[in-house]
Amino acid sequence: MKIATFKIFYFLWILCTFICLTDGARILGVFQMPSYSHYQLGDRILKELAARGHEVTLISPYKQMEQTKNFRTIVIENAFEVLERNVVDLFSMSTDNMLSTNLQFDTRFLPYTENTLNSSNVQKLIKSNEKFDIVILERLMNDAFHGFCAHFEAHCIISSPIPTSSWTNIQMGNAGPPSYVPELSSQFSSKMNFFERAYNFLGYLFYTTWFHAFMVPLHNEVMHKYFTNVPHFYDVYYNVSLMLINTHTAVHPPVPRLPNMIEIGGYHIKSPKPIPKDLKAYLDNAKEGVILFSMGSNLRSKDLPNDKRRAILNSFSKLKEKILWKWENESMSDLPGNVKLSKWLPQNDVLAHPNVKLFVTHGGLLSTLEAIYHGIPLVGIPVYGDQYSNMRIAEDYGYGISVPYEYLNEEGLTAALEQGLKNPTFSDVAKRRSKIMHDDQLKPLDKAIFWIEYILRHNGGKHLKSSSLSFNILQYLLLDVIGFISIIIAISICVCIFALKKIRRPHKKVTISKKKN
């Protein structure tokens, strides 16, 4: 007994010295989007940092329901009201092209950004004398937030909720040839035909020009309005220590990434929890299989126009499988017998249930990652943003079928559902991809924490920064070198021509003079 007690004390003592000796850093996270999926991404990393002894502050539109040790939230007032004021029918964006989608996002998100900085709670923090070692920004058209990093003299870490594109690559000095790196909202995967490459390239040119010519001055202005004494936008913007990217090689095509650009896709996924009793009974009893249908947290299926909703219902009613539909409204009058509605669903836990055969989704990134994590094939109804390209990749890889929202009708959806259910290759590929997703050296969340602490240990990780960041565009594209070589070649050609003329002229003169004679 005594020895056992001693052992316990000894263990506790060791544990305490370990915890007390680990220097907790002060970390600020800025995740401003009034959208649950974005909130979830920030919450997961920051709570984990708090659990590991760091002192964490989160700026967020969401209040915390319960107290967490080492964790404080600064709530952005009015975030949801600003969202309501700027509300657009997301379903109507399905016909927009890549440029207009991106430009809309850019201009629409600027008021959110300003509202966050103008919020009195955030102002209090900015005006306080608090210090932070690290600032983690969720980058989503809110670049004025780079001011947080400069203001608190902290290492800047970017959390990118979407795959890399010109949008992130240029900031990090990372190579991203538009021949196989699709632009944001481009609807493409890495495999592009001639016209797609041309479109992607033009999109790249237009978007980067627009961003640097129009958005940068606006963000610079907003940044300096709320943060005094910070350098010019570009000095802060290109001074990022680490970028955490929400993609995974199981779900995304391989593209270049510098050593300070780390893939952590899937980190938000928690191990499945027990499902509520009635839902579990429903899933257990569905011997023919269950199809899960959810349009995510930003698009609400209750906002679907009636014709699209009817098309979906009609095609569901023809199946023998049961359908579990995340529906945010009261019950539907014309509901077929095999469809069950639920206002809220523990999506990840449901996907883990062995009777779930297929996931009908909007093709959002978090949903796609969760489906592949559990090896479930997809039928996607992409509407906007990255959803098209997520589904395009799913089709390329063979674990999903895309039925774009604008073309959604009963026949198309029925055909896709039948394929997804009857053709075993979709499920086989999804299971293979799932294996890839589980075969990681470090779990994505541990990887994120490792790299954040690495940046702390190595004082900003300057050694990881690409030297291309110090080049101007002429140097980066080697236009100066190409220009120089062209001049040398041109001069050489001129010299040769001149020399040839010199050699041939006297010779001619001789022959002419000979004839005369």
Ligand X SMILES: *[C@@H]1O[C@H](CO)[C@@H](O)[C@H](O)[C@H]1NC(C)=O
Using CB under 6 A, count the residues that bind ligand X.
Answer: 14
- State which of residues 43, 106, 114, 370 lies at the interface with ligand X (CB under 6 A): 114
Q: In this structure, how many other beta carbons lie within 10 angstroms of the beta carbon of residue 137? A: 25
The answer to whether residue 115 forms part of the interface with ligand X (CB under 6 A) is yes
Q: How far is the CB of 364 from ligand X (least distance, A)?
A: 21
Gap between the Cα atoms of 222 and 226, Å rounded? 7
Q: 154 or 376, CB closer to ligand X?
A: 154
The answer to whether residue 84 forms part of the interface with ligand X (CB under 6 A) is no
The answer to whether residue 189 forms part of the interface with ligand X (CB under 6 A) is no
- State which of residues 40, 118, 317, 466 lies at the interface with ligand X (CB under 6 A): 118
388 Cβ neighbours under 8 A, 6+ residues apart: 185, 186, 187, 363, 382, 402, 404
The answer to whether residue 330 forms part of the interface with ligand X (CB under 6 A) is yes
Q: How far is the CB of 319 from ligand X (least distance, A)?
A: 22
Q: 66 or 330, CB closer to ligand X?
A: 330
End-to-end CA distance of the chain: 130
Q: 463 or 516, CB closer to ligand X?
A: 463
Gap between the Cα atoms of 377 and 420, Å rounded? 7
Query: Residue 251's closest CA among 450, 438, 445, 449?
Result: 438
Q: 227 or 426, CB closer to ligand X?
A: 227
CB 90 within 8 A of CB 299: yes
Q: How far is the CB of 142 from ligand X (least distance, A)?
A: 14
DSSP class of residue 215 equals: I
Query: Residue 401's closest CA among 373, 443, 360?
Result: 360
Integer angstrom CA distances of residue 112 from 5, 42, 88, 419: 56, 17, 14, 42
Name the one residue in this structure whose structure tokens are 């404080």.
72
The answer to whether residue 336 forms part of the interface with ligand X (CB under 6 A) is no
Name the one residue in this structure whose structure tokens are 């809309």.
104
- State which of residues 45, 158, 192, 236 lies at the interface with ligand X (CB under 6 A): 236
**Which region, judged by CB under 6 A, interacts with ligand X, from 55-63, 113-121, 273-281, 404-412?**
113-121
The answer to whether residue 231 forms part of the interface with ligand X (CB under 6 A) is yes
- State which of residues 81, 235, 284, 411 lies at the interface with ligand X (CB under 6 A): 235
Gap between the Cα atoms of 76 and 62, Å rounded? 8
| Three-state secondary-structure class, residue 56 | strand
Q: How far is the CB of 54 from ligand X (least distance, A)?
A: 17
Q: How far is the CB of 460 from ligand X (least distance, A)?
A: 3
- State which of residues 160, 187, 239, 402 lies at the interface with ligand X (CB under 6 A): 239
- State which of residues 44, 72, 302, 443 lies at the interface with ligand X (CB under 6 A): 302
Q: How far is the CB of 242 from ligand X (least distance, A)?
A: 10
Q: How far is the CB of 123 from ligand X (least distance, A)?
A: 9
Q: 152 or 199, CB closer to ligand X?
A: 152
What phi and psi values does residue 208 have, to the nearest 5 degrees?
A: -65, -35
- State which of residues 54, 146, 155, 268 lies at the interface with ligand X (CB under 6 A): 155
The answer to whether residue 224 forms part of the interface with ligand X (CB under 6 A) is no
Query: Residue 394's closest CA among 369, 421, 419, 422?
Result: 369
Integer angstrom CA distances of residue 352 from 38, 114, 157, 162: 22, 40, 32, 24
The answer to whether residue 150 forms part of the interface with ligand X (CB under 6 A) is yes
Residue nearest to ligand X (CB): 460
The answer to whether residue 486 forms part of the interface with ligand X (CB under 6 A) is no
The answer to whether residue 390 forms part of the interface with ligand X (CB under 6 A) is no
**Which region, judged by CB under 6 A, interacts with ligand X, from 114-122, 158-166, 355-363, 476-484?**
114-122
Kindly provide the residue ranges of all beta strands, DSSP E only, lying in 281-397, ordered along the sequence: 290-294, 322-326, 339-342, 356-361, 378-380
| Three-state secondary-structure class, residue 309 | helix
The answer to whether residue 241 forms part of the interface with ligand X (CB under 6 A) is yes
Q: 51 or 464, CB closer to ligand X?
A: 464
By rule CB under 6 A, what string of x and - marks binding of each residue 259-298 to ligand X?
----------------------------------------
Q: 61 or 203, CB closer to ligand X?
A: 61
Query: Residue 301's closest CA among 221, 381, 190, 379?
Result: 381
Query: Residue 50's closest CA among 38, 58, 60?
Result: 58
Q: 120 or 271, CB closer to ligand X?
A: 120
Length of the chain: 517
**Positive or negative: CA dihedral 430, 434, 435, 441:** positive
Q: In this structure, how many other beta carbons lie within 10 angstroms of the beta carbon of residue 191? A: 12
Query: Residue 227's closest CA among 141, 120, 118?
Result: 118
- State which of residues 329, 423, 425, 475 lies at the interface with ligand X (CB under 6 A): 329
The answer to whether residue 247 forms part of the interface with ligand X (CB under 6 A) is no
Q: How far is the CB of 325 from ligand X (least distance, A)?
A: 12
Q: 117 or 250, CB closer to ligand X?
A: 117
Q: CB pairs under 8 A, 24+ apart, for 325-333? A: 325/293, 325/294, 325/301, 326/292, 326/293, 326/294, 326/295, 326/301, 327/301, 327/302, 328/300, 328/301, 328/302, 329/302
Query: Residue 171's closest CA among 222, 216, 129?
Result: 216
Q: 101 or 294, CB closer to ligand X?
A: 294
The answer to whether residue 72 forms part of the interface with ligand X (CB under 6 A) is no
Q: 57 or 241, CB closer to ligand X?
A: 241
Q: What residues make contact with ligand X under the rule CB under 6 A?
A: 114-115, 118, 150, 155, 231, 235-236, 239, 241, 302, 329-330, 460
